[in-house]
């Protein structure tokens, strides 16, 4: 134990400090949950009470949610008698903290620099969209945890046991959010030898819920897709808004347009240098696959009314890991003394500039004017609940999440 603390003491302190900073930033949103989270809460509560996966007891089943794994997880806590609205933030924070630790361990599979691993995490927790949606009450923290765990598994030396584990994790990812299905083939792509071992459990997990949906709800897709996305994907409107979404996410990642343009130009030049020097190896292949899937799924999905790049949550961990690794390799090419330290200091300076110019103002603005609050909606409907009590109505029609 003492040997472990000697070797990893500073890293543990660093991770603890970063998680504390994340908690501080997340505390700016302690009085907010997105109103859409109430839908998941209702289904989870009714499932826990034995009414089934329905929005209201006694109503016909309609799949008004698109995050089954999150609903199932919340129902477990509801079953114990806990208030879902009260437990969801602590649960989300714990899941996010675990994701931070797993991402740190994953980075150490890419390079042995603990300092650079911490720097990559600084970028992640500084990103306001990551912080905002990790405590929104929606499935984002569970989704990110599963994807980061899958990323870590993909970096380990492949075995049959790991292939099966990757299949289970990717299957759970697929039923956490619809775009999660894109992660099912990743382990097989990176380790083709274990194609069957990884695809069978993932398809079994995802397919089981698909069959359940068909039998229970009588639909091939959730009702949320029918109401919000049917006819929009790959439509003329989708194509017309694609460039806008692309520009928007780049500004969200790299700041105002001139700073973003300069940053992207520098990163592209550095990437070309790594290609020229033949430094692009298996590490970049793994990160690249996750980057392509997460970035591509964000562009593919329709525009989200909730703002702050909710659907881009899985992109953030891999982007900052990729940038950190790339800068570190460039400094190694330049044969500087202590290249990891030099790369880390440069990245921290860049992240500090990004934070004060773009990230911090966005978080502050969202904290002042958040997207529709669950608590505000619930307070409004409490008024109708009081009216129904005064009128002695046995079955009022307004749903209270």
Residue 157, judged by CB atoms within 10 A of its CB (0-12, 13-18, 19+), counts as exposed
Q: Which of 193-197, 372-376, 381-385 has the highest mean pLDDT?
A: 193-197
Q: Which long-range contacts (CB under 8 A, 24 or more apart) does 99-104 make?
A: 99/141, 99/144, 99/145, 99/148, 99/317, 100/15, 100/18, 100/19, 100/22, 100/124, 100/125, 101/15, 102/145, 102/148, 102/149, 102/152, 103/148, 103/151, 103/152, 103/317, 103/321, 104/11, 104/15
Res 261 pLDDT > 90: yes
- Which of 398, 387, 376 has the alpha carbon at shortest distance from 85? 376
Res 94 pLDDT > 60: yes
Cβ atoms of 312 and 298 closer than 8 Å: yes
Model confidence at 155, pLDDT cuts 50, 70, 90, reads: very high
For residue 193, is it within any domain? yes
For residue 381, is it within any domain? no
Which residue segment(s) compose the domain that 128 sits in?
2-370
Token pair, residue 377, equals 């909606």
Burial annotation 241-257 (CB, 10 A radius, 16+ → b, else e): beeebeeebeebbbbee
**Worst-scoring range by mean pLDDT, 72-86, 96-110, 223-237, 288-302?**
223-237
Which residue did the predictor score with more confidence, 6 or 174? 174
Contacts of 344 (CB under 8 A, 6+ apart): 113, 115, 116, 119, 328
* pLDDT, average across residues 310-326: 94
Res 320 pLDDT > 60: yes
Rg (alpha carbons) of the chain, rounded to whole number: 22
**Residues linked to residue 34 through DSSP beta bridges, in sequence order:** 373
DSSP state of 356: I
* pTM of the model as a whole: 0.90
Averaged pLDDT of the chain: 87
For residue 375, is it within any domain? no
For residue 390, is it within any domain? no
Count up the domains in the chain and report the number.
1
For residue 391, is it within any domain? no
Length of the chain: 401
């Amino acid at each position: 134990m003492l040997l472990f603390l000697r070797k990893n003491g500073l890293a543990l302190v660093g991770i603890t400090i970063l998680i504390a900073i994340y908690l501080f930033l997340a505390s700016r949103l302690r009085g907010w949950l997105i109103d859409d989270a109430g839908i998941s809460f209702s289904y989870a509560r009714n499932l826990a009470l034995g009414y089934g996966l329905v929005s209201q007891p006694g109503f016909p089943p309609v799949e008004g949610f698109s995050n089954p794994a999150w609903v199932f997880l919340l129902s477990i806590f509801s079953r114990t008698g806990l208030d879902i609205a009260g437990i969801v933030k602590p649960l989300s924070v714990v899941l996010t903290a675990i994701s931070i630790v797993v991402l740190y361990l994953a980075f150490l599979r890419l390079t042995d620099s603990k300092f650079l691993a911490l720097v990559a995490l600084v970028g992640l927790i500084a990103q306001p969209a990551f912080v905002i949606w990790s405590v929104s009450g929606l499935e984002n923290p569970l989704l990110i945890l599963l994807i980061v765990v899958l990323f870590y598994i993909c970096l380990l030396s492949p075995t049959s046991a790991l292939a099966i584990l990757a299949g289970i994790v990717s299957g759970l990812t697929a039923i956490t959010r619809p775009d999660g299905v894109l992660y099912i083939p990743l382990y097989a792509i990176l380790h083709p030898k274990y194609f069957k071992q990884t695809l069978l459990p993932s398809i079994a997990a995802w397919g089981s819920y698909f069959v359940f949906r068909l039998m229970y709800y009588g639909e091939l897709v959730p009702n949320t897709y029918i109401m919000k996305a049917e006819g929009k994907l790959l439509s003329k409107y989708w194509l017309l808004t694609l460039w806008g979404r692309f520009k928007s996410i780049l500004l969200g990642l790299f700041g105002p347009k001139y700073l973003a343009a300069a940053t992207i130009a520098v990163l592209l030049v550095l990437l070309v240098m790594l290609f020229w020097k033949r430094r692009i190896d298996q590490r970049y292949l793994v990160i690249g696959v996750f980057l392509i899937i997460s970035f591509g799924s964000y562009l593919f999905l329709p525009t989200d009314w909730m703002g702050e790049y909710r659907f881009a949550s899985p992109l953030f961990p891999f982007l900052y890991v990729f940038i950190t690794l790339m800068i570190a390799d460039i400094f190694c090419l330049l044969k500087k003394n202590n290249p990891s330290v030099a790369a880390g200091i440069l990245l921290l300076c860049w992240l500090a500039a990004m934070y004060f110019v773009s990230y911090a103002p966005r978080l502050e603005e969202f904290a002042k004017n958040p997207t529709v609050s669950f608590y505000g909606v619930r307070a409004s409907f409490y008024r109708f609940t009081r009216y129904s009590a005064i009128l002695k109505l046995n079955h009022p029609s307004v749903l209270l999440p």
